[in-house]
Chain A
Amino acid sequence: MSDSAFAIHHSAFSVSFTLNGSPVSVDVDPADRLLDTLRYRLGLTGTKEGCGEGECGACTVYLDGLPVDSCLVPTYQVQGRRVETVESLAPKRLDPLLAQGATQCGACTPGVAMTSCWILDHPDLLATHTVRELLAGNLCRCTGYDGILDGIAAAMQVRP
């Protein structure tokens, strides 16, 4: 639908990046957030909006391998970069989280799953940080975090 009644006109331009291992190109407005591009343009609704201001972590994705809040990333900034979303996680890895009660309502859960897997992939971080500190960017209102911490601990046991 055209937006011609409005004064603000940005010429849409094309952004190309690697999404979950595959190349994608999408026409975006300079003001578009990566979160909205993923959800409403590319149909990847696993990434959730909890606050829209980088506080809750529900929209966590990996940008070049680092967890970021996709609500704070303008889509044009991911040109030529690598983005991974919750849809890229192997379900098998998430079994320990499931078994320990890491998810309840599920709205924070995709972000929690992304951060949890990132912690599991970077065990060296635990030399300098606690899991509680590493998880503090993901707000959860249901679990009190113990189920998530237990899930991460259980996943560490099953790591190859």
Chain B
Amino acid sequence: MPLPIQFTYTGDAARYRCVGTLRWTVYSPIVQRLEGLAKLTGRERYVDDVPLEGFLWGATVRSPAPRGRITAVHFDPSIDWTQFTIVDHKDLPGPNVIALIESDQPVLAPGYVRHMHEAVLLLAHPDRAALRRAVAAVRIDVAAEPAALDFRLAPRPDQIQYGPDNVLKHLHISKGDVERALAAAPIVVEGVYETGAQEHVYLEPQGMIASVEGDVLVVRGSMQCPYYIVKALKHTLGRDEARLRVIQTPTGGGFGGKEEYPSTIALHAALLALKSGKPVKLVYDRGEDMAATTKRHPSLVRHRTGVTPDGRLLAQDIEVVLDGGAYVTLSPVVLSRGIIHAAGPYACDHVRIDGRAMFTNAVPFGAFRGFGAPQTHFANERHMDRIAARLGLDPAELRRRNLLRDGESTATGQVIRDGTDRQAVLERALALADYDVKRARHASFNASGTVTRRGVGVATFHHGAGFTGSGEVMLASRLHVAGLADGTIEVRSANIEMGQGTLTVFTALASQRLGIDPAAVRIAEADTARVPNSGPTVASRTAMVVGRLVELACDDLRRRLHVEGATGETVRAAIRRWHLEHPDTALVAEAAYEPPPGVVWDDVNYRGDAYGTFAWGAYVAEVEVDLRTYETRVIDFVAVQEVGKVLHEVLARGQVQGGVAQAIGWSLLEECRWKDGAMANAQLTNYLIPTSDDLPRIRVEFLETPYAYGAQGAKGLGELPMDGPAPAILNAVAAATGADPCVIPLTPERLMQMIEGRMQNAELGTR
């Protein structure tokens, strides 16, 4: 099958290395992460490292109850409160709303709270220890009302707080005639699957600094989306954009946790700075960060699948329920991505997917790497193994028979015609993992009567890159490339570095596009006073979508200089010459997003091309389960994926290894314990993330089929590795033990209760 568009590369062809028939890698001229040495030596300055004089520390006083009217706020009279800047909802100059999808979430609770730890009051003081004592000296009384705390149960009338039924969002996908296909199917397999919340645990807690500089409110901090914060500040503070400036500081991990939540901290810091007239630093400690910020949406997914005896999928009937928490935040779009991926990378003519995000009085859930897809892939891929068990088929063979082939369509009717070989991805993963040999070896090992059991499990999955549906068109991203007087190039975008490698990749793309030394390229700080809105740093879109804009803006620069097609010194000389001829004028080239041709999406009926393209993965996990402790260890992990062109091998491998590690944590270790809709274990002592000693080496391989509309042929990569590990691991546990676990995290406690027969999956749920 020919590629849709022949991939061309204008640089040095010798940089290609061909590995086999499918794997080829272009070596970037930049071999190392640009800011890496600054990070290794501690010189990189994060928000809490920025030198600051004459500032106040800020702090937040929070709700002690999940729902109710605030009846009184008591200030301990032993403290001289005149020393403090105190802000509550009455201090807001504009609407008490954090502008996002809906206008339902207040900046500060207006006399009524809907979740634990909801912000009620803000305090600022020059001395941090004094501030901490003051926070503890404020008591908020709440007249408690009935809270909705279990998203799986229909709410009682006195728990209803959103619409007629607490449904935040309802979405539906329909293809073919599921009822008729199920009625006619010779075999129907059902299953119920549940996933718990997950805390991001970016190693740098959230924080912002706000100050008023002249007439301009300046907010600096740890963030993924500078222009989300501009929008939120503008809406609430009633300031035009000329009097607002948002600057990203080096961001110590995000994973989605710094997509929408930083807008709240930015508003809080800004309110304190505006009232006090001083710079305010509002940095959360780990406990506050874990208790008060967003987490991955818990999910409940039901499957009813019609199959033929030889394993062909006839009909998939899927119900997805997410816990949205107390405000809408991003739940509608998380649900959207979740249901679009819910039927997996398989061909099936009859599919019905019904999705609901539920209001509860839990701390709101939000963006987290994968954005709904890990939850629905977990359910679908566990379900595939249960179907295989029912049919007596090898789980890999069941997938082989159903994986999408070019010309077949997904649940939304998107015809896949990208020239990638999804079968080859699966076969390569099975071969690398030695899947068949391991299955045979485990059978004899497990029969030998030792106290451990071994098993191997597989998952095949996909991840749509970029915003869903018409999202990228609505973002209308713009990016600038400036030619400076000394002949250097500056890339100006709002997309930020949070560890995933934006600075390195953008530098490589510009230098390769223009054929110039990477040292002659710099990436502007993400400062909204200087960079256009190239969209948020989310959705695996930065390298693919925004990287493409870097290339197009480089082309526009050459066009403006009348040196189309030129590279190297010719371009740089043209820039210098232009500046001599146009003194005191900026040379700024621009690129704006245009959708790939032929991509059509119907947002009302959820039909058509949900994404411009998908990345494809096949992961194989091998586990060992100790029947004395019920601990599950992952002893080998193979991750094979097709992600278009790999732009930087070390960075790409790191994305996959880190994503797999985070997903292993979600699968086996990371349990949010709930009390009144908030995390009771909001500390790293008892919310466990994987250490180096908990993980195997994660073996990574890429197959590459360039995507015509991504930078150098790249597709989205960052979120894909979150999708496959959980089902692969639980499938391996099922193979090892004969148990049928359908709930994560599969902690030793849950597995013990399941194997010792005391509880079924439904009772092992995550609440």
Chain A interface (Cβ within 8 Å of chain B)?
1, 3, 5-8, 29, 31, 39, 43-53, 55-56, 58, 85-87, 89, 91, 94, 97-110, 113, 130-133, 135-149
Which residue of chain B lies nearest to A147 when distances are taken between CB atoms in the complex? Answer: B654
Q: Bound state CA distance, A105 and B659, in angstroms? A: 13
Of B36, B46, B653, B657, the residue contacting A107 (CB under 8 A) is: B46
Asked if B693 contacts A133 (CB within 8 A), the reply is yes
Asked if A142 contacts B42 (CB within 8 A), the reply is no
In the bound complex, residues from chain A placing their C-beta under 8 Å from that of B204 are 48, 50, 105, 107
Asked if A94 contacts B255 (CB within 8 A), the reply is no
Asked if A45 contacts B45 (CB within 8 A), the reply is yes
Q: Bound state CA distance, A52 and B661, in angstroms? A: 23
Q: Bound state CA distance, A6 and B252, in angstroms? A: 35
Can you spell out 24 A-B residue pairs with CB atoms less than 8 angstroms apart? A6-B79, A39-B49, A48-B252, A49-B205, A53-B683, A85-B42, A89-B40, A98-B37, A99-B650, A101-B650, A101-B654, A103-B36, A105-B254, A109-B39, A113-B42, A132-B692, A136-B694, A140-B203, A140-B692, A143-B654, A144-B654, A144-B698, A147-B650, A149-B697
In the bound complex, residues from chain A placing their C-beta under 8 Å from that of B500 are 104
Q: Bound state CA distance, A44 and B252, in angstroms? A: 18
Which residue of chain B lies nearest to A135 when distances are taken between CB atoms in the complex? Answer: B692
Q: Assuming the A-B contacts A6-B130, A94-B41, are A132 and B499 also in contact, with contact meaning beta carbons closer than 8 angstroms in the complex?
A: no
In the bound complex, residues from chain B placing their C-beta under 8 Å from that of A87 are 41-42
Of B39, B51, B205, B662, the residue contacting A103 (CB under 8 A) is: B39
Asked if B658 contacts A144 (CB within 8 A), the reply is yes
Asked if B127 contacts A146 (CB within 8 A), the reply is no
Q: How far is the CB of B561 from chain A (nearest CB, A)?
A: 35
Q: Assuming the A-B contacts A53-B286, A107-B252, A139-B684, are A91 and B37 also in contact, with contact meaning beta carbons closer than 8 angstroms in the complex?
A: yes
Chain B interface (Cβ within 8 Å of chain A)?
31-33, 35-46, 48-49, 51, 78-80, 83, 126-127, 129-130, 133, 200-205, 250-255, 285-287, 498-501, 650-651, 653-654, 657-662, 683-685, 689, 691-695, 697-698
Asked if B36 contacts A98 (CB within 8 A), the reply is yes
In the bound complex, residues from chain B placing their C-beta under 8 Å from that of A110 are 39-42
In the bound complex, residues from chain B placing their C-beta under 8 Å from that of A102 are 40
Q: Bound state CA distance, A103 and B501, in angstroms? A: 10
Asked if A145 contacts B661 (CB within 8 A), the reply is yes
Of B40, B202, B203, B695, the residue contacting A144 (CB under 8 A) is: B695
Of A31, A45, A103, the residue contacting B49 (CB under 8 A) is: A45
Which residue of chain B lies nearest to A92 when distances are taken between CB atoms in the complex? Answer: B37
Question: What does DSSP make chain A's interface, helix, strand, loop or mixed?
Answer: loop
Give the number of A-B contacts (CB < 8 Å): 203
Which residue of chain A lies nearest to B204 when distances are taken between CB atoms in the complex? Answer: A107
For the complex of A and B, list the 8 residue pairs with the smallest distance between their C-beta atoms, beginning with the closest: A46-B42, A107-B252, A105-B499, A106-B39, A144-B661, A144-B657, A104-B499, A107-B203
Asked if A98 contacts B32 (CB within 8 A), the reply is yes
Q: Bound state CA distance, A137 and B697, in angstroms? A: 18
Asked if B202 contacts A46 (CB within 8 A), the reply is no
In the bound complex, residues from chain B placing their C-beta under 8 Å from that of A7 are 78
Q: How far is the CB of A68 from chain B (nearest CB, A)?
A: 16
Q: How far is the CB of A10 from chain B (nearest CB, A)?
A: 10
In the bound complex, residues from chain B placing their C-beta under 8 Å from that of A56 are 203, 286, 684
Q: How far is the CB of A145 from chain B (nearest CB, A)?
A: 4
In the bound complex, residues from chain B placing their C-beta under 8 Å from that of A52 are 285-287
Q: Assuming the A-B contacts A56-B203, A91-B41, are A6 and B133 also in contact, with contact meaning beta carbons closer than 8 angstroms in the complex?
A: yes
Residue with the highest number of chain A CB atoms closer than 10 Å, among B31, B39, B658, B697: B39
Which residue of chain A lies nearest to B45 when distances are taken between CB atoms in the complex? Answer: A45
Asked if B41 contacts A86 (CB within 8 A), the reply is yes
In the bound complex, residues from chain A placing their C-beta under 8 Å from that of B651 are 101
Q: Bound state CA distance, A149 and B692, in angstroms? A: 9
Which residue of chain A lies nearest to B286 when distances are taken between CB atoms in the complex? Answer: A51
Known: A86-B41, A110-B41. 15 other contacts (CB 8 A): A6-B130, A31-B129, A39-B49, A48-B252, A49-B48, A49-B285, A94-B37, A99-B32, A101-B33, A104-B654, A105-B499, A106-B36, A132-B695, A141-B689, A142-B654
Of A6, A85, A103, A141, the residue contacting B40 (CB under 8 A) is: A103
Asked if A89 contacts B46 (CB within 8 A), the reply is no
Q: How far is the CB of B476 from chain A (nearest CB, A)?
A: 29
In the bound complex, residues from chain A placing their C-beta under 8 Å from that of B133 are 6, 8
Asked if A148 contacts B286 (CB within 8 A), the reply is no
Q: Bound state CA distance, A160 and B49, in angstroms? A: 35
Of B44, B51, B499, B653, the residue contacting A142 (CB under 8 A) is: B499
Asked if B253 contacts A103 (CB within 8 A), the reply is no
Which residue of chain A lies nearest to B255 when distances are taken between CB atoms in the complex? Answer: A141
Q: Bound state CA distance, A136 and B690, in angstroms? A: 9
Q: Bound state CA distance, A85 and B43, in angstroms? A: 12
Which residue of chain B lies nearest to A109 when distances are taken between CB atoms in the complex? Answer: B39
Q: Bound state CA distance, A87 and B433, in angstroms? A: 42
In the bound complex, residues from chain A placing their C-beta under 8 Å from that of B698 are 144, 146
In the bound complex, residues from chain A placing their C-beta under 8 Å from that of B33 are 98, 101, 103-104
Q: Bound state CA distance, A103 and B49, in angstroms? A: 18
In the bound complex, residues from chain B placing their C-beta under 8 Å from that of A131 are 692
Asked if B35 contacts A106 (CB within 8 A), the reply is yes
Which residue of chain A lies nearest to B287 when distances are taken between CB atoms in the complex? Answer: A52
In the bound complex, residues from chain A placing their C-beta under 8 Å from that of B42 are 44-48, 85-87, 109-110, 113
Asked if A143 contacts B658 (CB within 8 A), the reply is yes
Q: How far is the CB of A131 from chain B (nearest CB, A)?
A: 8
Which residue of chain A lies nearest to B35 when distances are taken between CB atoms in the complex? Answer: A106
Q: Bound state CA distance, A147 and B40, in angstroms? A: 13
Q: How far is the CB of B671 from chain A (nearest CB, A)?
A: 16
In the bound complex, residues from chain A placing their C-beta under 8 Å from that of B79 are 5-6
Of B40, B80, B129, the residue contacting A91 (CB under 8 A) is: B40
Q: How far is the CB of B253 from chain A (nearest CB, A)?
A: 4
Asked if B203 contacts A139 (CB within 8 A), the reply is yes
Q: How far is the CB of B221 from chain A (nearest CB, A)?
A: 14
Which residue of chain A lies nearest to B84 when distances are taken between CB atoms in the complex? Answer: A5
Of B39, B654, B691, the residue contacting A139 (CB under 8 A) is: B691
Q: How far is the CB of B78 from chain A (nearest CB, A)?
A: 7
Q: Assuming the A-B contacts A107-B252, A144-B658, A144-B695, are A48 and B46 also in contact, with contact meaning beta carbons closer than 8 angstroms in the complex?
A: yes
Q: How far is the CB of B596 from chain A (nearest CB, A)?
A: 30
Asked if B37 contacts A1 (CB within 8 A), the reply is no
Q: Bound state CA distance, A147 and B500, in angstroms? A: 13
In the bound complex, residues from chain A placing their C-beta under 8 Å from that of B80 are 5
In the bound complex, residues from chain A placing their C-beta under 8 Å from that of B43 are 46
Q: Bound state CA distance, A46 and B39, in angstroms? A: 9
Q: Bound state CA distance, A147 and B700, in angstroms? A: 12
Q: Bound state CA distance, A8 and B136, in angstroms? A: 15
Asked if A107 contacts B41 (CB within 8 A), the reply is no
Residue with the highest number of chain B CB atoms closer than 10 Å, among A89, A104, A130, A147: A104
In the bound complex, residues from chain B placing their C-beta under 8 Å from that of A94 are 37, 40-41
Of B685, B693, B697, the residue contacting A146 (CB under 8 A) is: B697
Of A1, A8, A58, A130, the residue contacting B203 (CB under 8 A) is: A58
Q: Bound state CA distance, A98 and B250, in angstroms? A: 17
Q: Assuming the A-B contacts A1-B126, A86-B42, are A51 and B684 also in contact, with contact meaning beta carbons closer than 8 angstroms in the complex?
A: yes
Residue with the highest number of chain B CB atoms closer than 10 Å, among A44, A56, A143: A143
Of B51, B129, B252, B658, the residue contacting A106 (CB under 8 A) is: B252
In the bound complex, residues from chain B placing their C-beta under 8 Å from that of A145 are 657, 661, 691-692, 695
In the bound complex, residues from chain B placing their C-beta under 8 Å from that of A85 are 42
Q: Bound state CA distance, A140 and B690, in angstroms? A: 8
Q: How far is the CB of A70 from chain B (nearest CB, A)?
A: 13
In the bound complex, residues from chain A placing their C-beta under 8 Å from that of B691 are 135-137, 139, 145
